[in-house]
Structures are given as C-alpha cells and as structure tokens.
C-alpha cells in the first residue's frame, strides 16, 4: 500500500509540475486558475494527509527551482505552505468523515480556506522579516479576488474527480466512517 501511495504521490507531483504549462498558455487567466492547487488537493483526498502535505509543500519549490516559476521568494515559499495545508487538510478531514458528496465539498472548502489563511500568515511573517507591508487589502486581493477563477474551477472539478476516483477504487485514503458516495 505504501508503494502505491508513493507512486500516486509522485504522479500528483509530476502533474503539479506540468499543469501550469498548459494553463500558462492563457496568460490572462492562466495563473488565476491556480493549477498547482489541483494535484495537491487530489493527492490529499486520494493518498491521505501526509502525502498531500508533502506533495503540496514540494511542488511549488521544485517547480521554482526547475523552471523559475513561481519565483521562490516570497511567492514560492508562501505557496509551499498554502499547498501543504491544502493537501494535509483535505486528506485529514476526508479520512475522518463519512464519504458523502456534500462532505467532499465541505472538506474542499475547509481545506481551501485553511490554505488561503496559511498563505496570508506566511506573507505576514515574510513582511515582518523583510520590513515590507502586507495589508488586509493585499490579502483579500491575493487570496480571494485574483483567485476567483481558480476557486470556481476547484469547486467544480475537484469533487467530481474525487467522487469518480472513489467509485473507480483509486482512493488509498482510508476512512473510519463508511457512507455512500
């Protein structure tokens, strides 16, 4: 089972590295679709919180080193924590709650909110160390306003993929409570 989780996690990491190339072809909204968030969330849902956390943390840093995007400081650092929280929260909550459609949406929303808060907190810490300013307006613009297309895409896409993969028997994230999908 651990080898399958490692293999799935490697696949999600590879998708996180490649997916931004596809959405980047649409410069106006490419970055706003938050393409690296999708594999981090899916890894958490399908493999469990430790794997989702690891893939989420590694993906932006590795992509920054390999391809120069995102810029490692401060964007890549903040994204690493944001995506780690995404994957970790999605996996943790999904493993503890019954497998029902509305639960999948609730877990996704909780993970997205926690990840955005982590992103903001890291920016506040970075601003404190660098002497720059990170205001509530900057947080709302970066975490909500600029990300609305990505938020909408995630709400439409992630639960459908999770439910389809569950039905196909591809989930390795074991649950304590059983429930119909």
Tens of pLDDT along 138-155? 898 888 888 899 999 999
Determine whether 54 is exposed, middle or buried from the number of CB atoms within 10 Å of its CB (0-12, 13-18, 19+): buried
What domains does the chain contain, in order, with CATH numbers? 2-167 (1.10.1760.20)
- Which pairs from 123-131 meet CB under 8 Å and 24+ separation? 123/74, 123/78, 126/73, 126/74, 126/77, 126/78, 130/74
As a whole number, mean pLDDT of residues 58-63 equals 98
pLDDT digits (tens, 9 = 90+) for 29-51: 777 899 999 999 999 999 999 99
In this predicted structure, the answer to whether residue 75 has a pLDDT above a threshold of 70 is yes
């Amino acid at each position: 089972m651990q080898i399958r989780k490692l293999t799935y996690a490697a696949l999600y990491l590879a998708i996180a590295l490649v997916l931004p190339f596809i959405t980047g072809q649409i410069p106006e909204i490419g970055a706003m679709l938050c393409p690296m968030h999708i594999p981090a969330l899916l890894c958490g849902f399908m493999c469990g919180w430790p794997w989702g956390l690891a893939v989420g943390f590694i993906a932006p840093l590795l992509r920054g080193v390999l391809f120069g995007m995102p810029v490692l400081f401060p964007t890549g650092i903040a994204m690493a924590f944001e995506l780690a929280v995404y994957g970790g929260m999605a996996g943790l909550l999904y493993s503890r709650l019954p497998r029902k459609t509305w639960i999948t949406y609730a877990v996704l929303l909780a993970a997205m909110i926690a990840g955005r808060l982590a992103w903001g907190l890291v920016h506040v810490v970075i601003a404190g160390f660098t002497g720059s300013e990170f205001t509530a307006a900057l947080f709302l613009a970066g975490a909500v306003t600029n990300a609305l297309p990505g938020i909408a895409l995630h709400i439409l896409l992630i639960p459908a993929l999770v439910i389809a993969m569950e039905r196909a028997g591809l989930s390795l994230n074991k649950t304590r409570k059983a429930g119909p999908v």
